[in-house]
Structures are given as C-alpha cells and as structure tokens.
Amino acid sequence: MSEVVISGTGLVTPFGRGTGTYWRELVAGRTALAPAARFRSPAYQGEPVGEVPDFDPTGRPRKQAYASAAVEEALHAAGLPGTPDGTLVITVGQAPLPADGSGLGAEEREFLGPGAEGITAGGDSVHLTHACASALFAVAFAHEALLSGSVPAVLIVGATALNHYEYASMDVVRAVDRAACRPFDTARGGISLGEGGGALLLETADRARERGARPEAVVAGTACRVAAGKSVASDTDSVADCLREAVDAAGASRLDYVHAHATGTAQGDTAELLALETVAAERGWTDVPVSSHKGAVGHLLHISGAAGIAATAMTLRTGVAPPTAGLRTPEETDRLTLPTTALETPHAEVAAVSSFGFGGNNATVVLRRP
C-alpha cells in the first residue's frame, strides 16, 4: 500500500508570507508578537499579538485572503499549476463562511470561514471544526481518504484573523498573557493570539512519484481522540494516549523531535510535559527535543497545526530543531530537551506534532523524512 505524503505547504504568519520566512525567523528564535497596530477590540488591553504585516486583503475577509495566499504557495511548492481535478478540499475553522456573506457584519466576516469558493476543482469539500486541533484532525481525515483510494489528492486550508469574538472568549477565561507568551518557561502566564493562514497538499507517494514531485514529509501515523468527559485543552492522559497511538500507527521505535501544542498556559504546558515524559520513560527515549512556535507567532487557533506541521517537516529536512521563542528559564525535564536556541538534529528521521483544543479535542501526527 502506498504511503501518504505532504507535497506542498503554504503559510501566512505574523512573520509575513511564506513557509521559508516563517522557518527562518523561527530557527533564529525571533518573535513577531507586539502591541497591535491594526486590531481593536473591547477585550484588547494592549498586550502583544501576532498581526500579519504588509498584507492587503483587497476587500475580502482577512481569513479568506490569508487562506488563498497559503493555497497558492502550497500548490506551487507541490509543483502543481492548480488544484487537481477531484481534489477533496478540507476547510478548517469555527464555521464555514456563507457563499453570500453580504449580510454579515465586519466582525462576523473575520470570525467565520474560510470558505472553499475558488479552491475546489470539480471535487468535494468538507468543513471540520475541532477547536485548536482542527488542522491535525484534517490531516488524519485526509490520510484515511487517500489510503481508501477515494480521492486523488487532499487540500487542507484554514486561516484565522484577529477578531473580537475569539479574543473575548480567550480573555474572559483569563487565558491571555499580558506579556508575550513564553511556552515551557517557569514564568509563563498564558497565551498570545496570532493570525494567519495555512494550507497542506497531501497525496499518495505513488502519485507524487508519477508526476516527479519531491514530498516534504511522509504522514506515518495519526491519532485523534475526543475526550468528551474532559473539556480542558491539555489533559495528561489524553495527550499521552494520542502520542502512543500515533507512534504505534507509524511503527516508530523512537521520536527524534516533538513539536508541541504548548500555548504558554501553566496548566496546559505542565500537562503536556508530563505526558511526554511519561511516554518517553515507558519507551526508553532520552534527550528528545521539544519546542513550540507559539512564542514566535502566537496561537493561530484552528490552523495552528499547519504551522506545527511545517516546522516539523522542516526539522526533518534540515536537521535543525527550532527553539521556543521567549523561553528563558525552561521547566526542569528528565528525558526531554527544551532548546532556547536552534539545536542540531542531523540524524532526525521521525517526529511528532500535537494539537489540543477545548472540548477535549486531541490530535497527534507522526511525520517521517521521505
């Protein structure tokens, strides 16, 4: 049976357009978090956020514009002139943007979507919403669809734009840090919200080979769990179960890198570290590098998994694990390494990326170097 591969990745982040720009800044340990220049909300009190710079949405909702830019890059990276006929398009977000959104207010147009209009090419589209784990749930969905032979390719696309509704929802539960977020730091105080778009083009390895494409990563294993009895975003048992299941599905004996969900909350980061330490001890892993992109660009909510996938694939391709921006005093760990600067990982072949969301949505994807 052919493997499933990621053939193209596209990103728009607070560092600007492009996966290359994001990776360069991430490896350098820089942060794009700063007081807002454009965003305004009654809930906003001047704390750092991740705004996309120098981007003109040309009259469209920002989510739709960010998503379209990400799709363009992903298709180009995959060596495709457009979305192949019959491609399944999976959009991720709170809810799809209605085709006729003319009756919506400005804030509603930034909250909903993106939609699949202009992206499909004679195929079907579905919308998935699994809170902040949505993008990784979409990868698992795509993996199964491709292995079934029901579609020739899958395009996952999503975006988030700073908006009043989501900002207020995070502020009211006191999740927002008044300083820039610093995942895994002993002095961390919460999340920072960001915005941007992401797109992933997946196909079978056989199809990629037939058209001469060079895959960015192999999707070796996936695991999705909805822990309905526990609404928290990071529950230790659920996180550990997802990791075990994804690693076993990949047939992997070790992990050379983990790109963590790690948003910067005291409870969430602690639960995730404990889960990683537990599984590492069970399986005899040591010195596993673990980092997060959220100190660099903020939490991109439903599409944050795409930024995690991109960082993980680049770690496997370049042999460099990125640091966590803002991390100055790491939590003590036993079998994990929390890098504060870029870490050489020249022999990295297998890595995991995780996303966890409210409502008990948990997902882990294991990638392998092609």
The pLDDT of residue 235: 85
d(CA 159, CA 334): 36
Encoded amino acid at 112, one letter? L
SS3 (DSSP) at 25: helix
Domains 4-210 and 221-368 share a fold: yes
* 303-362 confidence digits (pLDDT tens): 999 999 999 999 999 999 999 999 999 999 999 999 999 999 999 999 999 999 988 899
> Any idea which of 32-41, 220-229, 280-289 has the lowest mean pLDDT?
220-229
What is the rounded radius of gyration, in angstroms, for the C-alpha atoms of the chain? 19
- Is pLDDT at 114 greater than 90 in this prediction? no
pLDDT at 97: 78
Res 202: pLDDT: 98
List Cβ neighbours of 116 (8 Å cut-off, separation of 6 or more): 89, 91, 96, 125, 127, 157
Nearest to 166 by CA among 299, 59, 14: 299
* Non-local CB neighbours of 243 within 8 Å, separated by 6+ positions: 223, 275, 276, 279, 352, 354, 364
Under the banding of pLDDT at 50, 70 and 90, the label for residue 234 is confident
Mean pLDDT of 209-218: 96
Q: What is the pLDDT of residue 71?
A: 97
- Amino acid letter at 106? A
pLDDT in tens, 185-203: 999 999 999 999 999 999 9
Taking residues 90-112, what's their average pLDDT? 81
To which CATH superfamily is domain 221-368 assigned? Thiolase/Chalcone synthase (3.40.47.10)
pLDDT band of residue 26 (cuts 50, 70, 90) is: very high
Span of 11-20, 203-212, 231-240, 282-291 with lowest mean pLDDT: 231-240
Taking only the tens place, the pLDDT of each residue in 336-349 is 999 999 999 999 99
pLDDT at residue number 231: 59
Q: Does position 123 have pLDDT exceeding 80, yes or no? A: no
106 pLDDT band, cuts 50/70/90, is confident
343: Cα separation from own chain's centroid:
21
Burial of 110 (0-12, 13-18, 19+ CB in 10 A): buried
Between the alpha carbon of residue 305 and those of residues 46, 187, 283, 336, the distances in Å are 26, 25, 25, 21
Four-CA torsion 205, 206, 207, 213, nearest 10 degrees: 60
Residue pair 313/282 in contact (Cβ under 8 Å)? The answer is no
E strand spans, 253-360: 257-259, 288-291, 320-321, 336-337, 343-344, 350-357
How many residues are there in the chain?
Answer: 370
pLDDT at 82 over 80: yes
- Distance (Å, whole) CA 40 – CA 276: 37
- At 251-291, the pLDDT tens digits run 999 999 999 999 999 999 999 999 999 999 999 999 999 99
- Looking at residues 81-109, what average pLDDT do you find? 84
Q: Is the pLDDT of residue 121 over 70?
A: no
pLDDT at 330: 98
d(CA 344, CA 9): 23
The full set of domain ranges for the chain reads 4-210, 221-368
Distance of CA 143 to the CA centre of its chain: 16
124-179 tens-digit pLDDT:
999 999 999 999 999 999 999 999 999 999 999 999 999 999 999 999 989 999 99
What is the CATH architecture of 4-210? 3-Layer(aba) Sandwich (3.40)
Percent of the chain with pLDDT over 70: 96
**Pairwise pLDDT comparison (113 vs 86), residue with the higher score:** 86
